[in-house]
Amino acid sequence: MGSYFNPLGSIDLHMHTTVSDGTDTPAEIYSRVQEEGIVLFSITDHDAVKGCRDILSMQRTRSNSRFITGVEFSARDEMGKYHILGYGYDPTGASVNALVSKGHSLRFSKLKGRISFLKDEYGFEFSGEDIAQIFKLDNPGKPHLGNLMVKYGYAPSKEVAIRDYIDKAVLKSEHIGPEETINAILGSGGIPVLAHPIYGSGDQLILGDEMDERLRHLMDLGLKGVEAFYSGFSIKLIQQMLSFAEKYDLYVTAGSDYHGKNKLVQLGDTGFDPEFEIPKGMREFIRQVL
């Protein structure tokens, strides 16, 4: 357990690089973090730890900020869909790397299914060269396919491509459960945290008793924290999540969900103000990971 770290600048523990669906490389993220004065940060690429290894190699020679390993997994069970973050894990850990490999395989399977759906349902076709390029990416996802649709004139924007076409695909593919996800993170020494809880897996709005039930369900599986500070959360929503964190003695994190040019969200935009009192759950999280 590390000593207490009192942040004198901003915190951002949720950002994506080109290793998944961001537009900044890990090196570019690292430089931007320094420029923005972010003192505590993590990158949380989908189904990937490669970017964290890159950042750790940079940290050996430069230490203007503190870095925590991070990752984000999509999970699903009978209660719904979740995005689960893992922090402070060993990037060489067997269990987290096994889940990364499984998530990576499922991601490519989904991509194939979506490409077939777009062709069968709408007649959208792409060149063999463009298909090959997208499959060369570390972790291709809906934003990459959406951008390709915009390039071909099939949609006016990536957002429209995803909402009106890609998300219409009903894929009968295998999925990862939250228990498997949480166990993999814990098994490699990490802390499992529920990402953007109120927004669920994207455009949901989960409040009150529904949130309480969801948290208790995930806590039974080993969940340790919630992302109470998040870009897009109002003060009221932040306060609700802080209340749940206090009620259940959960860790608290803050993240922007920065994706570079793939989202309008700015680096460091988490809703957390370091000049205010740091919540107990965040203080304990920082003690645990540093």
> Which residues are bridge partners to 40 per DSSP?
11, 66
Instruction: Using a pLDDT cut of 70, give the percent of the chain over it.
Output: 95
Q: 50-97: per-residue pLDDT in tens?
A: 999 999 988 766 567 899 999 999 999 999 999 999 999 999 999 999
* Residues of the chain scoring pLDDT < 50: 1-8
Length, in residues, of the chain: 290
Q: Which residue is listed with tokens 């994190």?
A: 253
Mean model confidence pLDDT for the chain: 91
Token couple for 90: 């060993």
Topology of the domain covering 104-168: DNA polymerase; domain 1 (1.10.150)
Q: Hey, what CATH class is 10-100+183-289 in?
A: alpha beta
Domains 10-100+183-289 and 104-168 share a fold: no
Q: Where are the domains of the chain?
A: 10-100+183-289, 104-168
- Long-range Cβ contact pairs of 3-6 (< 8 A, separation 24 or more): 3/287, 3/290, 4/283, 4/286, 4/287, 5/40, 5/66, 5/286, 5/287, 5/290, 6/278
Question: Tell me, what's the pLDDT at 6?
Answer: 47
CA 18 remoteness from chain centre: 13
Burial of 179 (0-12, 13-18, 19+ CB in 10 A): middle
Whole-prediction pTM: 0.88
- The residues, ordered by sequence, that sit 6+ positions from 232 with a Cβ below 8 Å of its Cβ are 196, 199, 265
CA atoms within 13 A on the CB side of 287: 9
Of residues 254, 243, 248, 246, the one with CA closest to residue 280? 246
Token couple for 246: 């206090």
